[in-house]
C-alpha cells in the first residue's frame, strides 16, 4: 500500500565483452553444454565425500593471487542468494551441475575457464562438481564475519589486474552479495516461490512472486506472512461469494490463489504497487481485474467498477495509527448487506493498540461471525496470526 521507487532489471554480465575470449553475455539454453556432455567429459566420481565438507573462507580465492575475472565472477554468482521458497532460502541438494549453473546464470564456458585457475591455486574448487556444491556448502559461512570481511576486501581493492569493465562488474556483484547478506530490508529484487499444501487444487506446483528491493516506503512490494497463512486457508476451504475484492493486494499472492480457484477477483492497491502486482499475475498466468484504489478516496474506483462485492479481503492491512479509521471508512463505502469481510492480521506486539482500535470500529457496524488464531512464519520469525470474518449488522 505504500509507494516505492522503480528499479531496472540488470545483469552485470551484459556489460562484459572479453578482449580475447567471446564469453556469452546471456544465459540462453544453447550456451550450456548438454547434461550428457557434462557427465561424459567433466563430472568426476568421488570415492569419498571430501568435496561435501562445508566451506571455509580460506577455500575462497586469495586476492593476493590476482584471480582472473572469470574466477571472481563464478564465485560471486555461486554465493548469490539461493532461491527463496516461502520464507526460507532453498538448501536443497542439486545433483545436476547444469541446474546449479543455470539457476545462478553462469554459462559453462566461464566455469571451464575458471577451473583451469582453480586447479593450480584453489584445489578445493577445482572441478565442476566441487563448484556446483558451493551454493549449499557456503550457507553456514555466510553467517560469519570472515565472509563479510572477504567481500569487503574485494570492494576495497582496486583489482588493478582487471580492466575497467571487469572491475565494475565484480564490484557490482560483490555489492549485491553484501546486500543479500544484510537481511531482507537490504536485499535486492528477488523471486519468491510459494508452495502450499494441496497445491494440486490450483493446477500449479508453486507460485512465483517478484519482489523489488524492500525499503521503508514500499512495504506493499513484499510478501508478508499473513497472505501466506490466508492463502492456505482459502485453498483448504474456498466457499466464498463472488465477486471478490481485495484491498491492499501487495504482491498478489491471495489474488493469484483466488484466480487459480476460478473466482471473479478484483485486486487493488496504490499506484506504485499496481505495476508489480500486474506483473506477478502475468508471471503466474492468472487473470483478474487489477486497478488502483486509494482508501482515502474510493469513488474513482467505484465509478469505474459499479460492482456489488460479496466478499472483501484484507491481509495485514495496518501499518500506522491512521489505518483502522481508513479501513472502517472504505468498508462502509464498499460493503453491501450481503458482503462478507475476511481479515488476516499478525499479532505484532507493538501494534496491539492499533488492532484494538480496528476491532472496536468494526464492531460498530459489523458482526464477527468467526475467529481463529494460528501460528506461522515470516522472514522476521515465527508469528501468531488472527483471522476474523465479519458481516454487516
Q: What is the pLDDT of residues 300-340, one digit of tens each?
A: 999 999 999 999 999 999 988 999 999 999 999 999 999 99
pTM flag (> 0.85)? no
Closest CA to 55 of 74, 91, 79, 84: 79
pLDDT of 140: 85
Percent of the chain at pLDDT > 70 equals: 80
Q: What is the pLDDT of residues 239-274, one digit of tens each?
A: 899 999 999 999 999 999 999 999 999 999 999 999
Does the structure show a pLDDT above 70 at 92? no
* Residue 374's pLDDT band (cuts 50, 70, 90): very high
Between CA 5 and CA 11, with CA 8 as vertex, the angle to 5 degrees is 145
Q: For residues 248 and 314, is the Cβ–Cβ distance under 8 A?
A: yes
pLDDT of 183: 60
pLDDT of 51: 59
Helix (H, G, I), strand (E, B) or coil at 235: helix
pLDDT of 161: 96
Does the structure show a pLDDT above 60 at 23? no
Does the structure show a pLDDT above 80 at 89? no
What one-character DSSP code corresponds to residue 313?
Answer: E
Higher model confidence: residue 214 or residue 354? 354
Domains of the chain by start residue, with CATH: 12-186 (no CATH), 190-392 (3.40.50.150)
Q: For residues 339 and 311, is the Cβ–Cβ distance under 8 A?
A: yes
pLDDT of 96: 76
Amino acid at each position: 500500500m505504500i509507494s516505492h521507487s522503480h528499479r531496472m532489471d540488470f545483469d552485470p554480465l551484459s556489460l562484459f565483452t572479453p578482449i580475447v575470449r567471446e564469453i556469452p553475455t546471456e544465459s540462453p539454453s544453447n550456451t550450456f553444454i548438454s547434461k550428457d556432455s557434462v557427465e561424459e567429459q567433466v563430472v568426476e566420481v568421488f570415492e569419498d565425500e571430501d568435496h561435501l565438507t562445508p566451506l571455509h573462507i580460506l577455500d575462497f580465492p586469495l586476492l593476493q593471487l590476482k584471480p582472473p575475472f572469470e574466477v571472481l565472477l563464478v564465485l560471486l554468482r555461486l554465493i548469490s542468494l539461493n532461491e527463496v521458497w516461502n520464507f526460507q532460502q532453498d538448501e536443497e541438494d542439486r545433483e545436476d551441475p547444469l541446474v546449479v549453473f543455470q539457476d545462478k546464470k553462469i554459462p559453462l564456458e566461464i566455469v571451464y575457464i575458471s577451473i583451469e585457475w582453480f586447479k593450480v591455486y584453489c584445489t578445493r574448487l577445482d572441478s565442476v562438481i566441487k563448484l556446483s556444491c558451493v551454493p549449499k556448502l557456503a550457507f553456514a559461512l555466510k553467517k560469519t564475519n570472515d565472509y563479510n570481511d572477504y567481500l569487503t576486501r574485494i570492494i576495497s581493492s582496486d583489482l588493478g589486474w582487471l580492466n575497467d569493465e571487469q572491475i565494475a562488474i565484480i564490484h557490482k556483484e560483490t555489492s549485491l552479495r553484501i546486500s543479500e547478506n544484510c537481511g531482507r530490508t537490504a536485499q535486492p529484487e528477488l523471486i519468491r516461490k510459494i508452495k502450499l499444501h494441496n497445491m494440486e487444487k490450483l493446477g500449479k506446483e508453486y507460485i512465483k512472486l517478484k519482489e523489488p528491493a524492500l525499503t521503508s516506503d514500499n512495504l506493499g512490494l513484499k510478501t508478508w506472512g499473513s497472505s501466506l497463512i490466508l492463502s492456505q486457508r482459502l485453498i483448504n476451504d474456498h466457499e466464498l461469494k463472488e465477486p471478490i475484492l481485495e484491498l491492499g493486494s501487495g504482491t498478489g499472492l491471495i489474488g493469484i490463489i483466488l484466480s487459480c480457484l476460478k473466482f471473479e477477483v478484483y485486486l487493488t492497491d496504490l499506484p506504485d504497487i499496481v505495476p508489480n502486482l500486474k506483473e506477478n499475475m502475468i508471471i503466474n498466468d492468472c487473470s483478474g481485474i487489477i486497478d488502483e484504489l486509494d482508501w482515502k478516496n474510493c469513488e474513482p474506483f467505484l465509478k469505474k467498477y459499479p460492482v456489488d462485492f460479496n466478499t472483501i479481503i484484507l491481509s495485514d492491512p495496518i501499518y500506522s495509527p491512521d489505518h483502522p479509521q481508513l479501513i472502517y471508512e472504505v468498508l462502509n463505502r464498499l460493503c453491501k448487506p450481503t458482503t462478507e469481510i475476511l481479515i488476516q492480521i499478525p499479532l505484532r506486539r507493538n501494534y496491539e493498540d492499533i488492532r484494538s482500535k480496528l476491532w472496536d470500529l468494526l464492531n460498530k457496524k459489523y458482526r464477527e461471525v468467526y475467529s481463529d488464531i494460528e501460528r506461522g512464519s515470516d522472514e522476521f520469525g515465527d508469528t501468531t496470526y488472527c483471522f476474523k470474518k465479519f458481516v454487516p449488522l
